[in-house]
Structure 1
């Protein structure tokens, strides 16, 4: 089975800002079972967006790959397909 076509990010550390290398992604809140509804977010031409569920501010950083984050370790991969 293929990995997610769109990266999924989680905020287990509860940081206010996560820098990512993707403009389209899913926010899951914290990792399951403490997640919120998995919401698709699209920054469009903007450089940042706030998740309407957990209020995490995601900021696009061109120097990061689509599956990277700052702080590191925020990429979430489901054990089973979502």
Structure 2
């Protein structure tokens, strides 16, 4: 198994564990959706160690947040509280 294939498996497992769509996972990691999809398809990523750190960091951050704190109320106007 190549390094790129191993990374693809790790990313797929991380996404499945978090229950993310590809779009949501890319957004959480701060990378374009197409880049994320390429990683999952085994095309690699120039900074695999950084990606692994980001996945671990985001997993811990999301697990530590109360459920309602990461929900977004799209009806609320920016800068105003309800």
Same fold per TM (> 0.5)? no
The answer to which structure has the higher strand fraction is 1
Give the TM-score, by structure 2 length: 0.22
Give the TM-score, by structure 1 length: 0.22
The answer to which structure has the higher helix fraction is 2
Higher alpha-carbon Rg:
2
